[in-house]
Structure 1
Amino acid sequence: MTTYLDFEKPLSEIEGKAEELRALAREQGTDVGKEAAQLDVKAKAQLKQLYENLTPWQKAQVARHAERPHATDYVEGLFDEWTPLAGDRNFADDHAVLGGLARLGDRAVMVIGHEKGHDTRTRIERNFGMARPEGYRKAIRLMRMADRFGLPVVTLIDTPGAYPGKGAEERGQSEAIARSTQTCLSLGVPLVSVVIGEGGSGGAVAFATADRVAMLEHSIYSVISPEGCASILWKDAEKMREAAEALRLTAQDLRKLGVIDRIVPEPLGGAHRARRDAIDAVGAALKAMLDEVDQRGDALRAQRRAKFLEMGSKGLAA
């Protein structure tokens, strides 16, 4: 069954009624096909209207939808010869970060991503996609390995932010994030990233300091969550709607600001309603972005650094 978001309540009533009619037809053999079809048409129109006018806060809700495809879904759906690699060779293996060797079409790549989990057990195991220092150090190790063997790096971003717990801070969380960002900048091989859900704070930037950055149409990318921003600015987490507006965290805003390079369209109603279509769209975007990056070595490093320095200068000028 589809999980409906708060703003989808009118849609849930229409689709629920259509499903009730179909269930009645199965039980009693009545002919309600025409009525159900009319409700389907009405539901589709309602869905289109809702998703054409999403507010930033509603987009944040869609980006966090529990049924949205996660990194493991993209790995299974897009990549062949997946070989997972584990551990930071220092402390532990962080299950919030997945990584490994794979093939995207005929191209060998290193894949790194945040994984939130899809049910209670896996969400706890994956720490809800919030990486600890060992997760970033694992990513650093894998990026350096890719650089050594000349493999492009693909990163899939989906995290509320880096884990803020005491143990993570004791093990150097901020240093690990900074080193991961630095490693992204130092790679002599192409690095492309897609924000597939949430891109939260430095925990996302540590994987997304890339030659090309894409976002799914209803994903978000921001320095802080709307709730966290509201708590700081207004001392009231319930002002998350106002915070979402102010943060300019949508793919559409960030494309205008030059923070990202492209928007990947989602199926009507969000990636969770047509998972295969969303996965295929991300795959096409990854291949296109890798085709666009034709530099290697020092030329590529200089190009990548210039991209982010120019982004900062634009912000100061504004």
Structure 2
Amino acid sequence: MAHLLDFEKPLADLEAKLAELRAFEAEDGSVDLSAQVAALETRVDTLRQSIYRGLTRWQRVQLARHPERPYTLDYIGSLTAGFMELHGDRLFADDQALVGGPATFRGSRFGSADRTVMVLGHQKGRDTKQRKERRFGMPNPEGYRKAQRLMEMAAKFGKPVITFLDTPGAYPGLEAEERGQAEAIARNLLVMARLPVPIVVVVIGEGASGGALGIGVGDRVLMLENAWYSVISPESCSSILWRSWDHKEDAARALKLTAPDLIEHGVIDEIIPEPVGGAHRNPQATFEAAGTAIAAHLDALSELPTDELLAGRLAKFDAMGAFREG
């Protein structure tokens, strides 16, 4: 891999030795190294399983931020056809940190029906120029207002909404606050709570704070195995509590921000499995798993009357954080 995380380095070293052994065997056909190659392959596989099946919460955060991980437009390109990106909030500007538009969800690939949907999500950049333009997937208020416009358009034509969450948070700049960042996010929560069409939310990477929740209210909330979703990032939490980023791993443990944590507490509805090593190791397998899950939930939700759909959505979020005094 071009980008290695700290905990992946022992595996990378072993994989490099395996590649060298295979190359030597191929160059010198007179030497039979098949037994050594097989033994090393077993060691590589064992180490890989050991590393990725025993990830800490902080290591999952690192995987969720991997620069080679698929982003929203990658999912849209794989799971839909005829995507037409719509721009602008009709009030101020177009925000490239949040993309969206109508498309045909290719459900027939997953034993479902092809259907027109409104699809939108956060989009990070792949290179320096794109990251600057998209602000690493951190929307301004006009991004959330664009999302509101698109979701209301979907409701007008009776089309389901699919959102992909992948942001370190809403853009924290002064100009964003001046243009009503908090109001834009709050307005989206209200609009999504009342939207009379099915909404499927998928957390594909980072799901930080109101920046993610601004397009995260749905009938079903799905989450990739190595994504994270929380009210605050581990670094920011560490900075507030310990006045330093040095305790980010402790913060990640305390926040319980991984998919297994959140499904246990009823915050999400399904964990979408990733290939061993993360979504970037095999993007196509990740797209297939996500598409299968989305198709199944769209099928189920499309059968519900509107009043039942809205009542279920409200009950879902009302139940979060509920407690009973003894």
Same fold (TM over 0.5): yes
User: Aligned equivalents of 1:317 and 1:167: distance in 2?
Assistant: 43
How big is each residue's C-alpha offset from its partner over 1:215-247, in whole Å with a ceiling of 9 and x where there is no partner? 001110000000000000111111000000000
| 1:199 matched residue in structure 2 | 207
Sequence identity (%):
53
The one-letter code of the counterpart of 2:314 is R
Instruction: State the 1:121 CA deviation.
Output: 2.1
User: Aligned equivalents of 2:30 and 2:74: distance in 1?
Assistant: 39
State which of 297, 311, 315 in structure 1 corresponds to 2:320. 311
The one-letter code of the counterpart of 2:131 is R
- Would the aligned equivalents of 1:271 and 1:278 in 2 still touch at CA under 8 Å? yes
- Would the aligned equivalents of 1:94 and 1:131 in 2 still touch at CA under 8 Å? yes
**Number of residues of Structure 1 aligned to a counterpart in Structure 2:** 317
Instruction: State the 1:28 CA deviation.
Output: 6.6
Partner of 1:109: helix, strand, or coil?
strand
User: Aligned equivalents of 1:295 and 1:182: distance in 2?
Assistant: 21
How big is each residue's C-alpha offset from its partner over 1:196-223, in whole Å with a ceiling of 9 and x where there is no partner? 0010101111111100001001110000
User: Aligned equivalents of 1:173 and 1:219: distance in 2?
Assistant: 25
| 1:104 matched residue in structure 2 | 105
User: Aligned equivalents of 1:208 and 1:148: distance in 2?
Assistant: 20
In the alignment, structure 1 residue 234 sits paired with structure 2 residue 235 = no
User: CA RMSD of the aligned region, Å?
Assistant: 1.8
| 1:85 matched residue in structure 2 | 86
User: Aligned equivalents of 2:158 and 2:61: distance in 1?
Assistant: 36
User: Aligned equivalents of 2:236 and 2:311: distance in 1?
Assistant: 35
User: Aligned equivalents of 1:90 and 1:22: distance in 2?
Assistant: 60
| 2:109 matched residue in structure 1 | none
Structure 2 gaps, min length 5: 107-113
Partner of 1:144: helix, strand, or coil?
helix
- Would the aligned equivalents of 1:101 and 1:110 in 2 still touch at CA under 8 Å? yes
Change (3 A) 1:222 1:30: farther
The one-letter code of the counterpart of 1:257 is H
The one-letter code of the counterpart of 2:74 is D
Partner of 2:48: helix, strand, or coil?
helix
- Would the aligned equivalents of 1:110 and 1:146 in 2 still touch at CA under 8 Å? yes
| 2:286 matched residue in structure 1 | 278
Structure 1 gaps, min length 5: none
The one-letter code of the counterpart of 1:39 is L
The 5 A counterparts of 1:1-318 are: 1-24=1-24, 34=34, 35-105=36-106, 106-293=114-301, 294-314=303-323
Instruction: State the 1:87 CA deviation.
Output: 0.6
How big is each residue's C-alpha offset from its partner over 1:60-86, in whole Å with a ceiling of 9 and x where there is no partner? 001111111111110111101111111
User: Aligned equivalents of 1:238 and 1:225: distance in 2?
Assistant: 13
How big is each residue's C-alpha offset from its partner over 1:234-263, in whole Å with a ceiling of 9 and x where there is no partner? 111110000000001000000000000010
Instruction: State the 1:38 CA deviation.
Output: 3.3
Change (3 A) 1:30 1:73: farther
User: Aligned equivalents of 1:240 and 1:30: distance in 2?
Assistant: 53
User: Aligned equivalents of 1:257 and 1:123: distance in 2?
Assistant: 34
Partner of 2:322: helix, strand, or coil?
helix
